[in-house]
Amino acid sequence: MTRLVLLRGDITEQRVDAIVNAANRALAGGGGVDGAIHRAGGPSIMAACDRIRAEQGGCPTGSAVVTTAGRLPAKAVIHTVGPIWRGGGSGEAEVLASCYRQSLHLARAGGFRSVAFPSISTGAYGYPLDQAAAIAVATINAVIACEGDAFDEVRMVLFRQSDLEVYQTAALRR
Ligand code: AR6
């Protein structure tokens, strides 16, 4: 039985098979969790992003790609591109759900049995945290209900205690 675990922490320190990055469509790096992952993992992650950009022009919103994790304790980084919040009427919820689904799809295809996610889109991209938490929890639980054999653990790693509490509330509502 796969577990969804919610915890406070830094995604770069997670000893899991794959961590997920909240990237941008250009895979160009940036601030927030993206900056932290590239800093901690070293230049081989950006080198892999450069190759993907050259081959396929980056990563569409709602989709995901896999790279090395460089010096990180994880084996791989799954880069997904969340929606920029535009008020909720532009399909943001479906795109955000797609980020979690596509990332787990790639994890499964790569044989990554433990996966850690940050809270995608709720920093620079401005997605309201309570709505994003509800989508993250519901989408992950729906995938592991169908594909539980593929994963040992799926983790949401929240940087701030107040964010963790919002995710815990979302998990209890289900
Ligand atoms: N570990 C876990 N969570 C973190 C960490 C960390 N080390 N650092 C920040 N967070 P954001 P987005 C949390 O802005 O909204 C970048 O520039 C943070 O508290 O990283 O999807 C990219 O290049 C917040 O809750 O991602 C894109 O251009 C969450 O991670 C853009 O920002 C997501 O915040 C993506 O924006």
Q: Which pLDDT score, from 0 to 100, does residue 174 have?
A: 66
Helices (H), 25-117: 32-41, 43-56, 92-110
Buried-state track 14-47, b at ≥16 Cβ within 10 A, e below 16: bebbbbbbbbbeebebbeebbebbbebbeeebbe
149 is catalytic: no
Residues with CB under 6 A from ligand 1: 10-12, 22-24, 30-34, 36, 82, 118-125, 157, 159-160, 163
CATH of the domain at 109: 3.40.220.10
pTM beyond 0.95, yes or no: yes
Tens digit of pLDDT for each residue in 12-48?
Answer: 999 999 999 999 999 999 999 999 999 999 999 999 9
Tens digit of pLDDT for each residue in 98-120?
Answer: 999 999 999 999 999 999 999 99
The one catalytic residue among 34, 50, 130, 152: 34
- Domain hosting 134: range is 3-172
For the chain, the domain total comes to: 1
Pocket test for ligand 1, best of 33, 34, 92 (most atoms within 8 A of CB): 33
